[in-house]
Structure 1
Amino acid sequence: MRILIRTSKWAIWARRLASFAIPLAVIPVILHRQQVIATEAFHAMELVAAVVAGMALVASLVALVRLWISGDRGWDRAFGGLVLSLICLAPLAYGVLEASRYPRVTDVSTDPELKLALAAGGQTPGETGGAIEAAFPNAKTRSYPLGAPQVYDLVAKLVSDWGWDVRLRQAPATVRSDGQIDAVVTTWLGWRDEVAIRVATANGGAKVDMRSASLTPSFSDLGANGQRIEEFLVALDNAVTGVLRDSVLGAPSEPAAPPPQETRNDTDTVVPAERPSDLRPPPPDPFDTEAPPPD
């Protein structure tokens, strides 16, 4: 009698749901980055993908338990559904973790008076300033012992190197005038944030303030704006330090002062040194009997 071993239906559905959840989560990211779909539609599609991935995760766990008990086939399908569902749910788990670590804000600034070119005044933060300062301690105003035009050039170079989309570029006309750069930053999920950087003259040097705000209303930016300000200002600190170091190393060194010459006193008498004695051996004594006879 032939025993028929069947394939678990739970394993089959786990693999099917997980295979459907992967493109359902990836395609909206591509469309959102290309600005084909709105952010609200992107959030809705990602929520559907998370639900489908959750169903695949549950189905795969049930399939693994039933396969262990019944001995049916489908281990590969069950494990495949488990792995694919976890990959699809990993960004969601990461977002929940980041949301718990950082305050619920979508607008972070070193100076609240710094205006944005695109956003209409920014958004009201959901936390107090103390919570924002505790979460991002390095997001503070910078002061440098360089002129405003020189610091502005360093800021513009960093913005260009980081690939931000510049929307406003206002260079300082003179040493005492201010400059500002506004740019749009697109995250890897397609969210768009606006960044404003102001370079002003202060105390014989330059002062830099920065603001980063989300263009799309949301409950939290997952710490993206505060982290962006901290990382950019740290990079600007390193760039200014390099300029100061190069200016110090490239400065011409002062010639060494000649050694002081001793003044001659006319009353001093110069005593000549004794002539060294002749080092040649003395001639032989003619009455020396031990001397060799002459040739």
Structure 2
Amino acid sequence: MIRRRLYTEERFSPLARWSFRLALFSLPVVALSAVLYRTGLLDFQPAMATLGAGLGLALLAGVLGTVAFFVTWETGWLGIGRAMAAVAIAALVLAGPAAVLARGMMLPRLTDITTDPADPPRFRALTFAHPRDANPLAYPGADAAGLQHLAYPVIKPVDLSATPDEAFNAVLALIQKRKWHILDAVPPRGTRRDGQIEAVAISPLMGFRSDVVIRIRPTPKGARVDARSAARYGGHDLGTNAQRIESLMTDLTAERRRR
């Protein structure tokens, strides 16, 4: 008598398969948006649309992967590993943007931050290198100043017991250390001319550009340093301009204390 073995085909969860595929596909979409924007092949709005599509794919992959995990757990179908991988990849893609957006939701919609709202440093060289479709370089005014004071009370000028030339050189060294693209650097000239540095700061991942101007003004006790940072595109800087100014001023103060 011939004994026959019965083979039962194990079913692979379609949800697990598709969640994993979507999660993998979201990675090059997000990376492509950053690469194309940094290289200038995409403008801001198309780049944001591409980034949004990549994040949307990651979110969908995470939802499908979560559902697929429970389905495979209950039914015994194959695919639980891919479902878990899809959720892990989605979490990796979404964690950074989610943290930034969550923080930004608690902050006012500002794109231009300065240490001196009453007399903000003015852009000069950047007016000739500013894209037409970018945010205006003119300071937004008293309403923005009031919102800034409530959200970022620590954003203030720095008074140094140093000559204007020493303050100018210290600021210039910190900007070079940060690898900002310097467009103009005018040293101070006694009491006749303020020192001023204009630069473009580029975010490390997406390459978002912010226009920065720093003014060095003589005082009876030394020099006062004021800074201004303005997001080039978008209606909300998510707190990045305030972080940039606070970091620069903190490092400047620490640098002068070591001398």
Is 1:235 the counterpart of 2:251? The answer is: yes
Which 4+ residue blocks in structure 1 deviate beyond 6 angstroms? none
Answer with 203-212 or 228-237: which moved more.
203-212
Distance, in Å, in 2 between the alignment partners of 1:97 and 1:167 is: 33
> Aligned runs of 1:19-168 on 2, under 5 Å?
19-112=24-117, 113=119, 114-117=121-124, 118=126, 120-122=136-138, 124=140, 128-168=144-184
Is 1:199 the counterpart of 2:204? The answer is: no
- Note if contact 1:147-1:175 (Cα within 8 Å) is conserved in structure 2: no
Offset at 1:212? 0.4
Distance, in Å, in 2 between the alignment partners of 1:136 and 1:171 is: 29
- Note if contact 1:105-1:126 (Cα within 8 Å) is conserved in structure 2: no
Offset at 1:84? 1.1
Distance, in Å, in 2 between the alignment partners of 1:221 and 1:122 is: 16
Q: Which structure has the larger Rg?
A: 1
Given residue 247 of structure 2, which amino acid in structure 1 is its aligned partner? E
Deviation per CA, 1:195-231: give whole Å up to 9, x if none.
Answer: 1000011224211111000111x12111000111111
- Note if contact 2:73-2:80 (Cα within 8 Å) is conserved in structure 1: no
TM-score normalised to the size of structure 1? 0.77
Distance, in Å, in 2 between the alignment partners of 1:76 and 1:143 is: 58
The answer to which structure has the higher helix fraction is 2
Offset at 1:187? 0.4
Correspondence for 1:179? 195
How many aligned positions are there?
Answer: 242
Offset at 1:125? 7.3
Distance, in Å, in 2 between the alignment partners of 1:142 and 1:2 is: 78
Answer with 140-149 or 180-189: which moved more.
140-149
The one of the two structures with greater contact order (alpha-carbon pairs below 8 A, sep at least 6) is 2
Deviation per CA, 1:59-101: give whole Å up to 9, x if none.
Answer: 1112112112211111111111111112122233122212123
Offset at 1:153? 1.1
Answer with 91-100 or 41-50: which moved more.
91-100
Deviation per CA, 1:267-289: give whole Å up to 9, x if none.
Answer: xxxxxxxxxxxxxxxxxxxxxxx
Aligned residue for 1:172, secondary structure, equals coil
Distance, in Å, in 2 between the alignment partners of 1:63 and 1:201 is: 66
TM-score normalised to the size of structure 2? 0.87
What's the C-alpha RMSD, in Å, of the aligned pairs?
A: 1.9
Offset at 1:181? 0.3
Correspondence for 1:254? none
Q: Which structure 2 segments of 5+ residues have no match?
A: 1-5, 128-135
Distance, in Å, in 1 between the alignment partners of 2:81 and 2:9 is: 19
Deviation per CA, 1:140-174: give whole Å up to 9, x if none.
Answer: 01212221111111111111111111001101133
Distance, in Å, in 1 between the alignment partners of 2:183 and 2:99 is: 31
- Note if contact 1:99-1:222 (Cα within 8 Å) is conserved in structure 2: yes
Distance, in Å, in 2 between the alignment partners of 1:203 and 1:79 is: 64
Distance, in Å, in 2 between the alignment partners of 1:97 and 1:125 is: 26
Given residue 229 of structure 2, which amino acid in structure 1 is its aligned partner? S
Answer with 93-102 or 117-126: which moved more.
117-126
